[in-house]
C-alpha cells in the first residue's frame, strides 16, 4: 500500500500540536519515507510563524489544538515543556481511548501526562534529537500504563523514518537526553576542536571543518554497520609508533575521556532536575 497507510501499518492521519523544529523534522521524515501523505498531516500552533514550514511540506494547518485531536488518531505533542501541561488540560475533553498521544517534550513524565489526560489515555514519551532533521536521529521511547505492544510497535516503526528508535524504561529517557540530545552539542564541540587543530598546523578552515565532519560521519557509520565496540576500531587505527598513538596520548593528557563522561553525567542530572520540577 502507498503512503496512505492501512490501520495495521500506520495511521491515516497524523497530528502535531506544536510546530517547531522537532515537529517539522518528524513530519518530514514520515512524509519522505511514505509513512503518511502530506495532506494527511495536521499541525497546530498559536501563530503562523512555524506553520508556514508545514504548509511548505504540503501539510494542513490550524490554530486550534482541539481540531488536531478531533481529526487525527495519532498526535505528537511538541510544545515547549512548560507549556505542555496547559495544552493537555485544554485538549483533554476531546481525547478518547482511540487516540495515541505522543509527547516529545523533555522533562515531562509519563505520570504527569497521564494525570492530565482522561483515564485509559494511551500515552507514550519520546526523546528525539536534532539529527532527526536529516533523518539520522537517535530516539528512545517509553510507553505509559495503557499502551500495548501493537501501539508501541506502530510508533517505533513510524519513527524509524527519522533515524534509530528503541524502546526503553522511562528511567533511561533522561540519560538519553544527556547522551544524545545534549550530545549533539558535545560532538560539535569536538568536531570544531579537531578542525581547529588542523587549522593551527596549516589546513584551510573550510577544508578542515569539512574533513572533521566527514571523519565523524564515517566513523559513526563504521561503528553502526560493523557493530564494533569503539575500542576495537580505535585499535585498528592505532599502529605501533604511528601518528595515532601520539595523538591519543595528547588526548589522554588533556582528560578527554573524563571530560566527556562528566558532560553526559551533568546533562543527565539536569534533565532529571527538570523532570522533578
Q: Average pLDDT, stretch 117-131?
A: 94
What pLDDT is recorded for position 12? 78
H/E element, 219: helix 205-226
Q: Which of 4 and 184 is assigned the larger pLDDT?
A: 184
What pLDDT is recorded for position 237? 95
Which CATH fold would you assign to the domain 181-276? ProC C-terminal domain-like fold (1.10.3730)
Task: List CB contacts of 203: < 8 A, sequence separation 6 or more.
Answer: 211
Q: Average pLDDT, stretch 175-200?
A: 96
Residue 50, annotated as binding a ligand: no
Q: How confident is the model at residue 133 (pLDDT cuts 50, 70, 90)?
A: confident
- Identify the CATH assignment for 14-170 out of 3.30.300.30, 3.90.340.10, 3.40.50.720, 3.20.20.140: 3.40.50.720
Same fold flag, 14-170 and 181-276: no
pLDDT at 8 over 50: no
Walk across the sheet containing 74-77 and list its strands.
60-62, 41-44, 14-17, 74-77, 100-103, 122-127, 137-143, 163-167
- Pick the most confident of 14-18, 25-29, 46-50: 14-18
Residue 200, annotated as binding a ligand: no
Q: What is the mean pLDDT of the chain?
A: 92
Residue 78, annotated as binding a ligand: yes
Residue 118, annotated as binding a ligand: no
Q: Average pLDDT, stretch 217-231?
A: 94
What are the domain boundaries of the chain?
A: 14-170, 181-276
Q: Which of 225 and 107 is assigned the larger pLDDT?
A: 225
Q: Average pLDDT, stretch 151-167?
A: 94
Residue 81, annotated as binding a ligand: yes
pLDDT at 172 over 50: yes
pLDDT at 9 over 70: no
- How is the chain split among helix, strand and coil, in percent rounded to 5? 60, 15, 30
What pLDDT is recorded for position 273? 87
Amino acid at each position: 500500500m502507498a503512503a496512505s497507510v492501512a490501520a495495521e501499518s500506520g495511521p491515516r492521519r497524523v497530528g502535531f500540536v506544536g510546530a517547531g523544529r522537532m515537529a517539522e523534522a518528524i513530519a518530514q521524515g514520515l512524509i519522505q519515507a511514505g509513512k503518511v501523505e502530506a495532506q494527511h498531516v495536521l499541525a497546530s500552533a498559536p501563530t503562523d510563524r512555524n506553520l508556514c514550514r508545514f504548509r511548505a511540506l504540503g501539510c494542513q494547518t490550524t490554530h486550534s489544538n482541539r481540531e488536531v485531536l478531533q481529526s487525527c488518531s495519532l498526535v505528537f505533542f511538541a510544545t515547549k515543556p512548560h507549556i505542555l501541561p496547559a495544552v493537555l488540560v485544554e485538549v483533554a475533553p476531546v481525547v478518547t481511548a482511540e487516540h495515541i498521544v505522543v509527547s516529545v517534550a523533555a522533562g515531562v513524565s509519563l505520570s504527569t501526562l497521564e494525570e492530565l489526560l482522561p483515564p485509559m489515555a494511551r500515552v507514550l514519551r519520546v526523546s528525539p534529537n536534532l539529527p532527526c532533521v536529516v533523518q539520522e536521529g537517535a530516539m528512545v521511547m517509553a510507553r505509559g500504563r495503557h499502551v500495548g505492544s501493537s501501539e508501541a510497535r506502530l510508533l517505533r516503526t513510524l519513527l524509524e523514518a527519522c533515524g534509530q528508535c528503541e524502546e526503553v524504561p522511562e528511567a533511561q529517557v533522561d540519560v538519553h537526553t544527556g547522551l544524545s540530545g545534549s550530545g549533539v552539542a558535545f560532538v560539535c564541540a569536538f568536531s570544531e576542536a579537531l578542525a581547529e587543530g588542523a587549522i593551527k598546523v596549516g589546513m584551510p578552515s573550510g577544508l578542515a571543518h569539512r574533513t572533521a565532519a566527514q571523519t565523524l560521519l564515517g566513523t559513526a557509520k563504521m561503528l553502526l554497520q560493523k557493530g564494533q565496540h569503539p575500542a576495537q576500531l580505535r585499535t585498528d587505527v592505532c599502529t605501533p609508533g604511528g601518528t595515532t598513538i601520539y595523538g591519543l596520548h595528547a588526548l589522554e593528557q588533556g582528560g578527554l575521556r573524563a571530560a566527556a563522561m562528566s558532560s553526559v553525567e551533568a546533562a543527565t542530572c539536569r534533565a532529571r532536575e527538570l523532570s522533578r520540577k
